[in-house]
Amino acid sequence: MSDLSLSLVRGAVTSPFKRAGRPGAALPTGREELPPSRIAPGPLAAYSRICGFAGTGPLPLTYPHVLGFPLAMRLMTGRDFPLPVLGLVHTWIEITAHRALQPTDELGITVHAAGLTPHRRGTEVTMVTEARRAGELVWESRSGYLSRHATEATTPPPGRAPHRELPAVAEWRLPTDLGRRYGAASGDRNPIHLHPVTARLFGFPRHIAHGMWTVARCLAETGDTAGAQGRVRTVRADFKAPVLLPSTVSYAADGTAFEVRGGSRVHLTGSVTRGA
């Protein structure tokens, strides 16, 4: 059994004994680390195929997050992590690439929990992943995960700004086995992505696409390699609504902004910046 699978099992066992929103809850102060090592070409090739990246060229911007995800799961399923990992919802991610990365690079990965933030729907934790090459910080991400629970918040949710619909660029037909295929390539076999039966246990009518697959597929469509305006240096994505499988969605983009929508429902919004 892989380290990530063991973490999922540990999370299933420990989650019922954790209570989100407990006063005075604190995050673990330690870090999980993966020593510098070469990237395995087989898993990278499988990941690139399922996400739509070219099989050659720079390392996909999202791939260090995949390398660090088992470390994040190890932290979030630990006894001293205050939130139950079952039911955590990935709400947003920000990625910054300080250097262009290649598949042949030896990367060291570290992950730590950065903070707990009250949310109108519960408590949100920020997880930080960092990649270093020869000791230099070359890539980092920050991700928000929401643990939903009752709160005493009395303020109404912030009003939504009028949504400007971006022009559709491509249509994607997502097969029913997309979650299983991406899970095999990334190691993220969360049951909400694998089968309708296991997804219904967590309140979904059907299984859903991985949020990180959706971000990666957007970057592959955008082209995260160097172009006329340079390579993608940063990306910010906010997950608005789950993508049920199977389904057909549209990828839309205009300038630096992009989104994924199904009909009138927006599933994801994001933006990129480019540079040399």
DSSP per-residue string spanning 186-201: HS---GGGT-HHHHHT
- Tell me what pLDDT residue 228 has: 45
Cα gap 136→129, rounded to integer Å:
14
Cα gap 58→103, rounded to integer Å:
6
Name residue, tokens 């990649």: 131
- Tell me what pLDDT residue 128 has: 98
Question: Which residues of the chain register pLDDT less than 50?
Answer: 1, 226-228
- Tell me what pLDDT residue 142 has: 97
- Tell me what pLDDT residue 203 has: 82
- Tell me what pLDDT residue 24 has: 59
- Tell me what pLDDT residue 227 has: 47
CB 210 within 8 A of CB 28: no
* 249 to 217, 219, 252, 260, 263: CA distances (angstroms): 12, 15, 10, 7, 7
pTM above 0.85, yes or no: yes
CB 190 within 8 A of CB 183: yes
Cα gap 38→133, rounded to integer Å:
11
- Tell me what pLDDT residue 162 has: 62
Kindly state the greatest CA–CA separation across the chain: 53
